[in-house]
Amino acid sequence: MAKQSSIRTLSAGSIGNFGEIYDFAVFGFSVPILSTHFFPGSDRTAALLSTFAVYAVAFFARPLGGLLFGVMADRLGRVRVMATTVWLMALGTALIGLLPTYASVGIAAPVLLVLCRIAQGLALGGETTGTTSFILESAPDDRRGGWIGLTLIFSHLPNALVAGLLIGLQLAAGATAYADWVWRVPFLAGGLIGIVGFWLRRNLDEPEEFKQATRRSGSKSPLRAAMREGGVKGMLHVAMIQPIQTVGSYLLLGFMYTFLVRVAKLEPTSALFTNGAAIVVLSFMIPLGGVMSDRFGRKRILTLGAAWLAFAAYPGVHLAASGTINGALLGQLLLVIGVGLYGGACFVAAPEFFPTSFRATGHAISYQLSVAVFGGTTPFIGTLLVQMSGSPLAPAYYVTFVAIACLILTQFVPETRGVRLRTSGSSSSGEDSSAAFHELR
């Protein structure tokens, strides 16, 4: 692949992804404000839990979006799906910025908020798989982890940039104006980012790998093929490795800011700063994990990342709960190292479990179900555990348990470094994968 074509491919996948994740990040960071406008009442914890429940709604819409857009990506192409999902996500986000509050329309306000979150969930369900499949199939065989990792920089940086944007808006407008109406501005900006994402993706070419696989598979149904030709095993493998990456990520991206404000009693600006800084580091740890998985194998890096999280979860949450800026930052960085290394290998291994002809369908179903079960519920579970136990360290036990489970399960999945994408899933051993890798080189 020519250098210019490679840069164009990575840019379109990365920056389009930026817009998608920006929209989700705005909601996650705005949970404390949204809870006051859409779930008013004297019990602030109940309102917060209600808003986290709405946050989780989008994750349960993701499997449906994954199935719908995954089948479309295998039948109609990765590029068409990528162009469609960026529009749908932008629409859902911009509408949240225009919604009336509970004080204006009563119960209709949270209902409309839920509908917008469903639209976001459907879009992200197709976006993650569509972009991942597109980049994976466009990358050199021995650099797939590195390429996926580069695009994931732009899947996590929006969280840090949103944190910076909210700090700037709060300082510029003041706390009263921000809580009154300025909170809507980041949501409205999400609609503009969607336009940029569509413009970058509209004229992309499908990967040659996908074109050749499509010519061979003809009009075969991707869903039927996934159910009959080894796709179920691939889905099981995704379910075995995905949980800790999802729990760790959404602990940082969807829960930690609110935890620092509500539980650790850190000032909102300081909480945003520390969380944003940790996410910037995470953005560059994931590509490192991807490159290391290209060099040493997916399973070794998955094992390293899961083991790190199993040991670091307790001290990380303990430091974050200290109520100091230094403690919050150091605690989150301890978590970031494990999440980044594990994520760099996990994001490339998961789609490699499936052959090209039904990769998007198989990956979308299994990945989005895992994210719905473990990702969307992580902020809710974390908040609930703190409330029920009375201990700010309760989320650490949850992370440790999931990390140990994935550490064990990872040992039973196949090594996918260097597998032939066209026939992924047929190899069941590291030796087969290694042989394929050396043959490809």
Q: What is the pLDDT of residues 55-109, one digit of tens each?
A: 777 777 888 888 899 999 998 889 888 888 888 888 888 999 999 988 888 888 8
As a whole number of angstroms, the distance between CA 147 and CA 30 comes to 31
* 376-380 average pLDDT score: 78
Backbone angles phi, psi at 418, to 5 degrees: 80, 5
pLDDT at residue 321, as a whole number: 93
pLDDT at residue 230, as a whole number: 73
With cut-offs at 50, 70 and 90, classify the pLDDT of residue 431.
Answer: very low
As a whole number of angstroms, the distance between CA 326 and CA 120 comes to 34
219 pLDDT above the threshold of 60: no
110 pLDDT above the threshold of 90: no
With cut-offs at 50, 70 and 90, classify the pLDDT of residue 371.
Answer: confident
pLDDT at residue 5, as a whole number: 67
Residue whose pair of structure tokens reads 């989700």 in the numeric block: 24
Q: What is the sign, positive or negative, of the torsion defined by CA atoms of 386, 373, 406, 242?
A: negative
pLDDT at residue 160, as a whole number: 75
Assign domain 3-440 to its CATH superfamily.
Answer: MFS general substrate transporter like domains (1.20.1250.20)
For 384-421, write each residue's pLDDT tens digit: 888 888 888 999 999 999 999 999 999 999 999 989 88
pLDDT at residue 428, as a whole number: 41
State the chain's mean pLDDT as an integer: 85
The residues near 7 (Cβ < 8 Å, ≥ 6 apart) are none
For 131-190, write each residue's pLDDT tens digit: 899 999 999 999 999 999 998 888 777 777 887 888 889 889 888 899 899 999 999 988
pLDDT at residue 427, as a whole number: 43
With cut-offs at 50, 70 and 90, classify the pLDDT of residue 326.
Answer: very high
* 35-51 average pLDDT score: 74
pLDDT at residue 43, as a whole number: 64
- Residue 106 is classified by DSSP as T
330 pLDDT above the threshold of 80: yes
As a whole number of angstroms, the distance between CA 297 and CA 182 comes to 47
Termini Cα distance of the chain:
15
As a whole number of angstroms, the distance between CA 235 and CA 367 comes to 8
As a whole number of angstroms, the distance between CA 307 and CA 408 comes to 10
Query: Among residues 364, 112, 52, which one has the least CA distance to residue 238?
Result: 364
